[in-house]
Amino acid sequence: MTVKVMSEQQVIEEGVGVAKVARFLATWQTDGGDYLAIRDRLFADETVETLFEKVQAYQTRQDKHR
């Protein structure tokens, strides 16, 4: 078995995409850079289970459009 070790940058670029990373960084910098406050505001009423369900639903919709 071979394990590919990736840098943080590779993980972000391949997992999220360069455009989304750029958007995140732009938002983060204009919002004062307090990622934890942003995260708390965005995910205040979420649990791991609800986020997982939303990701699955999103991926299903994306698969139908391909």
- Categorize the per-residue pLDDT at 33 as very low, low, confident or very high, splitting at 50, 70 and 90: low
Q: Which residues contact 31 (CB under 8 A, 6 or more apart)?
A: 38
Interatomic CA distance for residues 54 and 36, integer angstroms: 21
CA dihedral for 23, 12, 49, 35, sign (positive or negative): negative
* Predicted structure pTM score: 0.45
Q: How many CB atoms lie within 10 A of CB 65?
A: 5
Sequence spans of domains, the chain = 8-64
Average pLDDT estimate for 40-65: 88
**Are residues 35 and 43 in contact, defined by beta-carbon separation less than 8 angstroms?**
no
